[in-house]
Amino acid sequence: MLNEVCYRVMPKDISSWDDETLSKEKTWTLEAYRAVGGYQVWEKIIREKTPPMDIIAQLKQSVLRGRGGAGFPTGLKWSFMPPQLPGKGEKYVLCNSDESEPGTCKDRFILSNNPHQLLEGMLIACYAMGAKVGYNLMRGEFWLPFNRCEEALREATEAGYVGANILGSDVSIALHNAATLGAYICGEETALMNALEGKRPNPRFKPPFPANFGLWGQPTTINNTETIASVPVILQRGADWFAGAGTEKSGGTKIFCVSGHVNKPGNYEIALGTPFSELLEMAGGMRNGAKLKAVIPGGSSMPVIPGDVMMKTNLDYEGVMQSGSMLGSGGMIIMDESTCMVAVARRLSRFYMHESCGQCTPCREGSGWVYRLMCAIEEGRAEMSDIDRLRRVAKQIEGRTICVFGEAIAWPVEGFLKHFRHEFEACIKQGPRTVKR
């Protein structure tokens, strides 16, 4: 099974996903989306007045879990929204399209090439949770994806799928695309809400949780792009079909973005539970026949896993956890034996220093400490005791911040030191050297 859910509209052969072929296919149009059965689920829901609780029950049965990184069960999340609100209170559905986790590039392909499926998913989400307004918030750098989503929204509005009195019914739902001006932290759900409110996108304390106090203080549900785009196919082909594709606790398919030292890097949407070795084979194996050294399995915030352990790992939430990391966003960074793990860790720590919003002192200051220690180690200017200092600084950030960005700094450090400490020691033993960056 390959690319049958979020990428169902795309050509089956992944190697043909270049600009030239895709421009010919125009997969992002309403016509192309209808040709694969698009909007049939939405039409049926409107026609049959499907009870919202039935939709949420089906999602629960499908074992769909949040694809943004946390893996929270989607049906359960939707059920947290208060069904009735007194007075004129609005409820909101937000799509988190702020894809910025290093190693992750799945949502950009959905937004650019299959935007209608995301819109259909958002409409269903709004309907199921009783929201009349939905926002799809993209990172500011997503210029083409934003334009494609705007064009899709125009088409869908003209066709009567979005707006007032949808398809002649008494259901009215407004959808809007919006964009930030580029900041990783906007992918944190409460920061995303602040960004959309036009405030500095600092994460908020939880509780209160968004389902009670979200966008503009109203009940809000935030889902990742891939999660929402999965919904129409789940309802079309059935919860059991989707659940059956995965494992008992990790239902369905998931997109894995395979990047780094492989022959055929690409986005592979495959059944959860697939052995990593099979995914590596799909991606054409290691470049130049090199040996696999390590994999960052779920975007840069997840701990690195040594190659031999990864080759025995099954790609589902539990399997990757057993191997000492997390499935996260599905961004798989593949590294061969030539990779300097200290250089990789140092580069990632620069990312976290740059992206810390600065709100919590342990993160704002700690991220800089981590980066400077990494630089000193890589350049051989550090002492052996600095390795433990690095671990200690990282540990002191974890759990002491408003959002999980603190963990995102600390976990990779812990992972690199756990499996590749000898490389950090070797850099220090080697003594001072100039590192080319």
Q: Please write down the HEC assignment for all residues of 286-338.
A: EHHHCCEEEEECCCCCCCCEEHHHHCCCEECHHHHHHCCCCCCCCEEEEEECC
Q: Does 126 bind other proteins (CB under 8 A)?
A: no
DSSP state for residue 262 in the 8-state scheme: B
d(CA 264, CA 319): 24
Is 432 buried (19+), middle (13-18) or exposed (0-12) by CB count in 10 A?
Answer: exposed
d(CA 92, CA 35): 30
d(CA 399, CA 405): 9
d(CA 119, CA 41): 12
Write down the least CB distance from residue 393 to other proteins, Å. 21
Sheet strands (E) in 120-265: 133-138, 174-179, 220-224, 253-260
**Distances, alpha carbon 245 to alpha carbons 2, 147, 274, in Å:** 11, 33, 10
Q: Does 259 bind other proteins (CB under 8 A)?
A: yes
Q: Does 436 bind other proteins (CB under 8 A)?
A: yes
Q: Does 155 bind other proteins (CB under 8 A)?
A: no
Q: Which of 15, 143, 321, 432 binds other proteins (CB under 8 A)?
A: 143
Q: What is the DSSP string of 50-104?
A: --HHHHHHHHHHHT-B-TTTT--BHHHHHHTS-S--STT---EEEEEE---STT-
Q: Does 261 bind other proteins (CB under 8 A)?
A: yes
Write down the least CB distance from residue 265 to other proteins, Å. 4
* Contact stretch for other proteins (CB under 8 A) within 244-252, 317-325, 331-339, 396-404: 331-339
Please say which residue, 12 or 429, places its beta carbon nearer to other proteins.
12
Please say which residue, 59 or 255, places its beta carbon nearer to other proteins.
255
Q: Which of 152, 195, 394, 410 binds other proteins (CB under 8 A)?
A: 195
Q: Does 266 bind other proteins (CB under 8 A)?
A: yes
Q: In the chain, helix, strand, coil percent, each to 5?
A: 50, 15, 40
Q: Does 198 bind other proteins (CB under 8 A)?
A: yes
* Four-point Cα dihedral 174, 175, 181, 187, nearest 10: 120
d(CA 164, CA 160): 8
- Picking from 301, 298, 268, the residue whose alpha carbon sits closest to that of residue 283 is 268
Q: Does 413 bind other proteins (CB under 8 A)?
A: no
Q: Does 257 bind other proteins (CB under 8 A)?
A: yes
Q: Does 150 bind other proteins (CB under 8 A)?
A: no
* Contact stretch for other proteins (CB under 8 A) within 56-64, 265-273, 386-394, 398-406: 265-273
Side chain identity, residue 219: P
Side chain identity, residue 423: E
Please say which residue, 66 or 265, places its beta carbon nearer to other proteins.
265
Q: Which of 58, 79, 136, 180 binds other proteins (CB under 8 A)?
A: 180
* Contact stretch for other proteins (CB under 8 A) within 77-85, 313-321, 346-354, 368-376: 346-354
Write down the least CB distance from residue 437 to other proteins, Å. 8
Please say which residue, 122 or 196, places its beta carbon nearer to other proteins.
196
* Contact stretch for other proteins (CB under 8 A) within 272-280, 305-313, 336-344, 369-377: 336-344
Write down the least CB distance from residue 182 to other proteins, Å. 4
d(CA 136, CA 121): 11
Q: Which of 24, 44, 154, 199 binds other proteins (CB under 8 A)?
A: 199
Q: Does 140 bind other proteins (CB under 8 A)?
A: yes
d(CA 262, CA 284): 6
Q: Does 357 bind other proteins (CB under 8 A)?
A: yes
Binding footprint of other proteins on the chain (CB under 8 A): 90, 99-105, 107-108, 133, 139-144, 176, 178-184, 195-201, 216, 257-261, 265-267, 296, 300, 331, 333, 335, 339, 343-344, 347-348, 351, 354-355, 357, 436-437
